[in-house]
C-alpha cells in the first residue's frame, strides 16, 4: 500500500507543471538528482541520495519518467512513490554512474537539449563530466532551479503541513526555554529540543537543533557544544519542525538573569527590525523589501555591520544537509511575493566584540490579506 503525503493526482499535476517549464526552456529531457526535488515529484523518501541517483524526465508527456538508484532503495521506492519505470543497480557489481548512463541510453537515448544540474551537491563534477562525455552530441543546459522554482508557491495542503511543523517547532522552543538554567550544557538543551520534536511527531530535520550560549552565541551556525551555561549568558536556539518533509523554522534567544543594558537595547532593536520585515512581505512587492525594512531599523542603530546574512529565504520540502529553497530575499533575486509562498524572516545579529549574539526568526506565509507568521511565540528576548 502506497504511503504518500498527497494523492497521486497531485504528483501528476506537479509533473505537468515541470514539463511545462521544460518546454519553455527548450529542454527535451531533464536529469534530476536532488532528494527534495525527487521527493516533491515522486514521493520517494530516503537517504539513498548518498549514492548516485537520477530521475530522468522526458519533456514529452507520453513518455514515462524513469528513476535510477541502488537496489537497497527498492522497497522504499515501491512503498513511497508512484514510479513504475525504475532501475536498481547493485553497488557490488555495478558502477553507479555507468548504471545511470546505461539508463539514459535506453530507448531513443538522449538527444537535443538536456537539463543537468550544475548547482547540486548530489551531482558530483566527476559524475557530470562522465555523463557529458558519454553524450557528446547533446547540448547540456543547467536545470538546477527548474523544479525548485515550481515549488515556491505552495498549495493549501502543503501550507497546512508547514503550519503543523511550525507548531511543533514552537513547542520545542518553549521546552528548551523552560530547561535553561545555570549548569546545563548546550548539548543537553539540543537534546531537549530533539526529544520535544520527536514527541510532537516531527520527522528528522535537514539541520539538527542548534544551541549556542555565552560568547558562543555570536557564532551563529555553530552546533551545540559541551559548554555549560552560567548566569548572565545569552542563549540562541534555532530548530525546525518537519511534517512530510515540509520544514518550518523558528529561532529565539534567552538570557539567564537580568540582561545587560547592551543586550536589552540590541534585543529591542532586533525585535523592531524583525516585525518590520514581516510587515513588508506583502503580495506583489519584490522579495527584497523585508531586507530594506529591517535595514531601516538596524542602520540608524549602527547594527548593520552585525547582520549575519540575508533576511530570509523560501522554505518547504528539505533533506539534509540544508533546508533553503532557491528564493533569496535579496535585491538580486527577481521574485515578487505571491500568496502561497512561505519563507523565513530572520534578521539575526552577532556582536563578538560585545560577547554575544541574538537570533530571532520564524516561518512566514504570504497571503492575499498580508503576511502571516506561522509562529505563536513572542518576539521578545526570553529572560530566565
Tell me the pLDDT tens digit for each residue of 122-148: 999 999 999 999 999 999 999 999 999
CB atoms under 10 Å from CB of 261, counted, come to: 8
pTM of the model: 0.96
Q: pLDDT tens for residues 302-339?
A: 999 999 889 999 999 999 999 999 999 999 999 999 99
The yes-or-no verdict on residue 1 having pLDDT over 70 is: no
Average pLDDT, the chain: 97
Torsion angle of C-alpha atoms 47, 49, 53, 54, degrees rounded to 10 = 90
Q: For residue 39, what are the contacts with CB-CB under 8 A and spacing of at least 6?
A: 45, 245, 317, 319
Q: pLDDT tens for residues 53-112?
A: 999 999 999 899 999 999 999 999 999 999 999 999 999 999 999 999 999 999 778 999
The yes-or-no verdict on residue 360 having pLDDT over 70 is: yes
By the 8 A CB rule, do 359 and 237 touch? yes
Long-range CB pairs of 132-138, under 8 A, 24+ apart, other chains included: 134/101, 134/104, 134/105, 135/104, 135/109, 135/110, 137/111, 138/110, 138/111, 138/112, 138/113, 138/114
Break the chain into its structural domains and give their ranges.
8-150, 156-383
DSSP at 257:
S
Q: Determine the pLDDT at residue 344.
A: 98
Q: Determine the pLDDT at residue 108.
A: 73
Under CATH, what is the fold of the domain 8-150?
Creatine Amidinohydrolase; Chain A, domain 1 (3.40.350)
Q: What is the pLDDT confidence band of residue 3, given thresholds at 50, 70 and 90?
A: confident
Cis check: omega of the bond before 321, within 30 degrees of 0: yes
- Which CATH entry fits the domain spanning 156-383: 3.40.50.720, 3.90.230.10, 3.40.1390.10, 3.40.50.10470? 3.90.230.10
Q: pLDDT tens for residues 8-42?
A: 999 999 999 999 999 999 999 999 999 999 999 99
The percentage of residues in the chain with a pLDDT greater than 90, rounded to a whole number, is: 97
Distance, in Å, from the CA atom of 206 to the CA atom of 203, rounded to the nearest integer, reads: 10
Relative to beta strand 234-243, strand 210-213 is: antiparallel
Amino acid at each position: 500500500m502506497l504511503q504518500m503525503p498527497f494523492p497521486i493526482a497531485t504528483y501528476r499535476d506537479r509533473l505537468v507543471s515541470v514539463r511545462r517549464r521544460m518546454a519553455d526552456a527548450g529542454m527535451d529531457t531533464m536529469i534530476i538528482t536532488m532528494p527534495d526535488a525527487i521527493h516533491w515529484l515522486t514521493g520517494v523518501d530516503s537517504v539513498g541520495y548518498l549514492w548516485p541517483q537520477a530521475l530522468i524526465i522526458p519533456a514529452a508527456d507520453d513518455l514515462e519518467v524513469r528513476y535510477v538508484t541502488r537496489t537497497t532503495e527498492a522497497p522504499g521506492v515501491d512503498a513511497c512513490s508512484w514510479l513504475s519505470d525504475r532501475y536498481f543497480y547493485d553497488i557490488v557489481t555495478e558502477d553507479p554512474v555507468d548504471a545511470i548512463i546505461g539508463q539514459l541510453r535506453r530507448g531513443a537515448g538522449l538527444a537535443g537539449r538536456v537539463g543537468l544540474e550544475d548547482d547540486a551537491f548530489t551531482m558530483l563534477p566527476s559524475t557530470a563530466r562522465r555523463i557529458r562525455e558519454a553524450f557528446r552530441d547533446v547540448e547540456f543546459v543547467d536545470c538546477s532551479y527548474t523544479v525548485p522554482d515550481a515549488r515556491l508557491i505552495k498549495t493549501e495542503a502543503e501550507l497546512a503541513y508547514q503550519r503543523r511543523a511550525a507548531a511543533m517547532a514552537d513547542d520545542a522552543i518553549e521546552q528548551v526555554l523552560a530547561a535553561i538554567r545555570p549548569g546545563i550544557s548546550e548539548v543537553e538543551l539540543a537534546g531537549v529540543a530533539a526529544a520535544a520534536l520527536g514527541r510532537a511527531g516531527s520527522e528528522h530535520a535537514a539541520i539538527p537543533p542548534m544551541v549556542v550560549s555565552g560568547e558562543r552565541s555570536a557564532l551563529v551556525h555553530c552546533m551545540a557544544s559541551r559548554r555549560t551555561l552560567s548566569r548572565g549568558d545569552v542563549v540562541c536556539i534555532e530548530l525546525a519542525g518537519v511534517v512530510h518533509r515540509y520544514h518550518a523554522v523558528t529561532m529565539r534567544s534567552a538570557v539567564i538573569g537580568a540582561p545587560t543594558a547592551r543586550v536589552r537595547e540590541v534585543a529591542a532593536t532586533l525585535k523592531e527590525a524583525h516585525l518590520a520585515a514581516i510587515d513588508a512581505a506583502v503580495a506583489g512587492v519584490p522579495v527584497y523589501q523585508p531586507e530594506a525594512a529591517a535595514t531601516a531599523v538596524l542602520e540608524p542603530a549602527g547594527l548593520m555591520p552585525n547582520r549575519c546574512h540575508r533576511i530570509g529565504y523560501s522554505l518547504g520540502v528539505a533533506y539534509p544537509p540544508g533546508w533553503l529553497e532557491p528564493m533569496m530575499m535579496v535585491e538580486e533575486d527577481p521574485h515578487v511575493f505571491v500568496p502561497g509562498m512561505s519563507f523565513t524572516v530572520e534578521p539575526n545579529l552577532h556582536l563578538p566584540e560585545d560577547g554575544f549574539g541574538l537570533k530571532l526568526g520564524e516561518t512566514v506565509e504570504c497571503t492575499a490579506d498580508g503576511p502571516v507568521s506561522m509562529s505563536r511565540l513572542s518576539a521578545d528576548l526570553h529572560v530566565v
